[in-house]
Amino acid sequence: MFRKIPAFLSLAIAAMLLPCNAHALLWGLLGNDDQWRTQDPRFQSEQASPLMDKARELEQDGRLSSARSMYEKVWKKYPASDSAAEALYHSGKISMKMHKWKAALKAYNVLVQAYPESSHFNDVISDYFEIAGAYEEGRDIHYLWFFKYKDKSKAVQVYETIVQVAPYSDYAPISLMRVAMLHRRDRLRVQAIDTLDRIINNYPNSMTAADATLLLADFLSMEVDGPEYDQGATRESMSYYRDFTTLYPNNPAIKEAEEGIARNRETYAQSKLILGEFFFNYRDDYSSAAVFFNDTITIAPESKSADKAREYIAIIDQIKERFPDESWPVRKDWQYLFFWRKWDPLSMPAPEPKEAPAETAAK
């Protein structure tokens, strides 16, 4: 049985191993004929020159479609010529003017892969960003030639291409931010959080790092299901909010970060209060309850949860005073069935004082 993928990979590797001009190294992978391999690059340049002149003439006359076809003929037929990279660039540029985003993307993909040393590389990256924006906004994107739609997945793909081919450009962190926002709109929180984390770690000095830090804190805050659940996301969110206030103290959004810290701190404190109430009301373990109540006060001393925790601590102090050495009464399991009765350990009789040993009394 013929397997297409292994066969394609074998042919691709073989094509790259054959002697070829460095400018056209990837041409065997792009489905073009191999006649250029037997032609001298100088011969290809001579053959491509009149075609380039014709293409420029057509472009100046406003015959963009014909000019684009002529440019494509140059880079497909004479990829090792001096004009191939230039033809690719102009082919992509004309496609951009005609809003043929797919065609422009095809030409630019070949250009950055086969001719990375092209003088138009930076211009191509800029056009990549515009193409991604077109897919994101649904600009001249149609389904079955009639129905407009926004191809967000394609936009994400193009933005990621920018990061891949130009990781040190100014467009890379901006592209990642656009990817994060697209994931956010689609409610893909995990992907959005991962993308924002890439911005913070890989581009800490970029203009988007501050926005990414704040947005990541917001995302993690949204992951919190409430004080009754695990507070790992709450702690992470507070950490990023604090990072934002520390690293960007003059940022206009500093107030928003401070409010986020206060909001998460209250949630975290409330979760400690709930744990303390559990040990207080259902386990009669007042020492453990006191630990969680003190944590509540430490986390958010001015919160309502802290006020409630202080009330519990006052009761625990009375219990410990009445029942020293942690000898307070503890309910049996069956006693919890009387849920309509309020359990008040302070109403229970205090333990009898222990008698001194006989030897000590004699002395």
- In this prediction, residue 150 has a pLDDT band, given cuts at 50, 70 and 90, of confident
The helix or strand, by DSSP H or E, that contains position 143, with its residue range, turns out to be strand 142-143
pLDDT at site 24? 45
Query: What are the tens digits of pLDDT across the range 282-319?
Result: 777 888 999 999 999 999 998 899 999 999 999 888 88
Q: What is the pLDDT of residues 18-30, one digit of tens each?
A: 444 444 444 444 4
Could you report the per-residue pLDDT of 131-143, keeping only the tens digit for each? 999 999 888 777 6
Q: What is the reported pLDDT for 352? A: 61
Q: pLDDT tens digits for 157-188?
A: 999 999 999 999 999 999 999 999 999 888 88
Domain boundaries, given as residue ranges, for the chain: 17-117
Instruction: Locate all alpha helices (DSSP H) within 3-120, ordered by sequence.
Output: 4-17, 41-60, 64-77, 84-97, 101-114
Q: If we measure between CA atoms, which residue out of 238, 235, 175 comes closest to residue 203?
A: 175
pLDDT tier, 44 (very low <50, low <70, confident <90, very high otherwise): confident
Residue 140, pLDDT score:
76
Confidence of residue 335 (pLDDT cuts 50, 70, 90): low
Compute how many other C-beta atoms are within 10 angstroms of the C-beta atom of residue 16: 13
**pLDDT bucket at 102, cuts 50 / 70 / 90:** very high
- Percent of the chain exceeding pLDDT 90 equals 48
**Residue 333 confidence class, pLDDT cut points 50, 70, 90:** low
Q: Residues 295, 296, 302, 303: what is their CA dihedral angle, to the nearest 10 degrees?
A: 170
Q: pLDDT band for 97, please (50, 70, 90 cuts).
A: very high
| Per-residue pLDDT, 30 | 47
Q: For residue 142, which phi and psi values (nearest 5 degrees)?
A: -130, 150
Share the mean pLDDT of the chain: 82
Looking at per-residue confidence, does 223 or 163 come out higher?
Answer: 163
CATH 3.30.70.1530 fits 17-117, yes or no: no
pLDDT for 139: 82
